[in-house]
Structure 1
Amino acid sequence: MTTASPSIVWFRKDRRLSDHPALHAAIDRGGPIILLYILESDTGRAHGGANGVWLHHSLGELKADIENRGGRLILRAGAAAAVIDAVIKETGADAVFWNRRYFKPDRDRDAQIKDTLTARGLSVESFKGNLLVEPWEVKTKTGTPYRVFTPFWRAAKDGLEVADPLPAPTTLDGFDGALASDDLDGWGLLPTRPDWGSKMLDYHTPGEAAAQARLADFLDGPIEDYAEGRDRPDKDLTSRLSPHLAHGEISPRQIWDACKDNETTSYKFLSEIGWREFSYSLLFYNPELATKNFNPNYEAMAWDHDDQAFEAWTTGQTGYPFVDAGMRQLWATGWMHNRVRMVVASFLIKHLMIDWRDGEDWFWDTLLEADLASNAASWQWVAGTGADAAPYFRVFNPFGQGEKFDPNGDYVRQWVPELAALPNKYLQQPWTAPDDVLDKSGIELGRDYPEPIVDHKEARERVLAAYKAARAGN
Structure 2
Amino acid sequence: MSIAIVWFRRDLRLRDNPALQAAIEAGHTIVPAYIHAPQEEGAWAPGAASDAWLHHSLQQLDAQLRALGSALVVRSGDSMAQLQALIAESGAEAVYWNRKYEPATQPRDAAIKRGLREQGVQVESHNGYLLFEPWELATLQGGPYKVFTPFWRNALTRWRLPALSDAPGSLNAIALPGLPLQALGLQPRLGWDGGFWEHWQPGEAGAQEALEVFAEGALNGYREQRDLPDRTGTSLLSPHLHFGEIAPWRIAHTLEAMRSAGRDADIDGYIRQLGWREFSWHLLHHFPQTSDSNLNPRFERFAWEPAQPALLEAWQQGRTGIPIIDAGMRELWATGYMHNRVRMLVGSFLCKHMRMHWQHGARWFWDTLVDADLANNSMGWQWIAGTGADAAPYFRVFNPVTQAQKFDPQARYISRWVPELAALPLKARFAPWQFPQLLAEHAPSYPTQPLVDLAQGRDAALAAYQRCR
| Same fold, TM-score > 0.5, yes or no | yes
1:165-176 alignment, distance < 5 Å: 165-176=164-175
User: Deviations along 1:349-385, whole A, 9 cap, x unmatched?
Assistant: 0011111001000000000111000000000000000
The equivalent residue for 2:267 is 266
Match of 2:5 in 1: 8
Which residue of the other structure, out of 384, 394, 399, is the alignment partner of 1:397? 399
The 5-angstrom pairing of residues 116-127 of structure 1 reads 116-127=115-126
Matched with 1:237 is 233
**C-alpha distance in 2 between matches for 1:462 and 1:307:** 20
Find the aligned partners of 1:137 and 1:160 in 2 and give their Cα distance. Answer: 12
Between 41-50 and 150-159, report the one with greater CA deviation.
Answer: 41-50
State the SS of the aligned residue for 2:32.
strand
Aligned to 2:253: 257
Residue 30 of structure 1 and its aligned partner are, at CA, apart by 1.0
Report the alpha carbon displacement of residue 434 of structure 1 after superposing the two structures with TM. 5.5
Measure how far apart 1:104 and its partner are: 2.6
CA displacement, residues 135-162 of structure 1 (integer Å, 9 cap, x when unaligned): 2211011100110001101101111211
Identify the residue that residue 464 of structure 1 maps to in structure 2: 462
Classify the secondary structure of the residue corresponding to 2:12: coil
Compute the TM-score of the two structures, normalised by the length of structure 1: 0.95
* Superposition pairs of residues 146-165 of structure 1, within 5 angstroms: 146-165=145-164
Contact residue 380 and residue 389 of structure 1 kept, 8 A: yes
Q: How does 1:152-301 map to 2 (within 5 A)?
A: 152-176=151-175, 179-194=176-191, 196-261=192-257, 262=259, 263-301=264-302
Deviation at 1:328, TM superposition (A): 0.2
State whether residues 418 and 449 of structure 1, in contact with CA within 8 Å, keep that contact through their aligned partners in structure 2: no
CA distance in 2 between partners of 1:341 and 1:359 (Å) = 10
Query: Contact between 1:422 and 1:438, CA under 8 Å: does it hold in 2?
Result: yes
SS in 2 for 1:76: strand
Q: Distance in 2 between matches of 1:86 and 1:443?
A: 60
Provide the secondary structure at the position in 2 that maps to 1:136.
coil
Q: What does residue range 293-442 of structure 1 map to in structure 2 within 5 Å?
A: 293-304=294-305, 305-433=307-435, 435=437, 437-438=438-439, 442=442
Matched length? 461
Q: Tell me, in whole angstroms, the C-alpha distance in 2 between the residues paired with 1:63 and 1:460.
A: 51
Equivalent pair of 2:433/2:448 in contact (CA under 8 Å): no
Give 5+ residue unaligned stretches, structure 2.
Answer: none
CA contact (8 A) 2:433 2:439 kept: no
Q: Does the 8 A contact of 1:283 with 1:289 survive in 2?
A: yes
Per-residue CA distance 1:417-461 (angstroms, 9 max, x = gap): 1101111111110011262x345x5233xx434421111111000
Gaps of 5+ in 1: none
* Contact in 2 for aligned 1:314/1:327 (Cα 8 Å): yes
Task: Name the SS of the counterpart of 1:335 in structure 2.
Answer: coil
TM-score, normalised by the number of residues in structure 2: 0.96
Give 1:264 shift: 3.5
Could you list the structure 1 runs, at least 4 aligned residues long, displaced by more than 3 angstroms after superposition: 447-450
1:43 alignment partner, SS class: helix
Structure 2 residue aligned with 1:20, among 17, 28, 32?
A: 17
Q: Distance in 2 between matches of 1:110 and 1:442?
A: 57
Amino acid of the structure 2 residue aligned with 1:274: G
Q: Is the 8 A contact 1:42 1:78 kept in 2?
A: no
> 2:367 & 2:228 partners in 1: Cα distance?
25
Aligned sequence identity (%) = 48
Aligned partners of 2:40 and 2:104 also within 8 Å: no
Distance in 2, Cα, partners of 1:426 & 1:241: 34
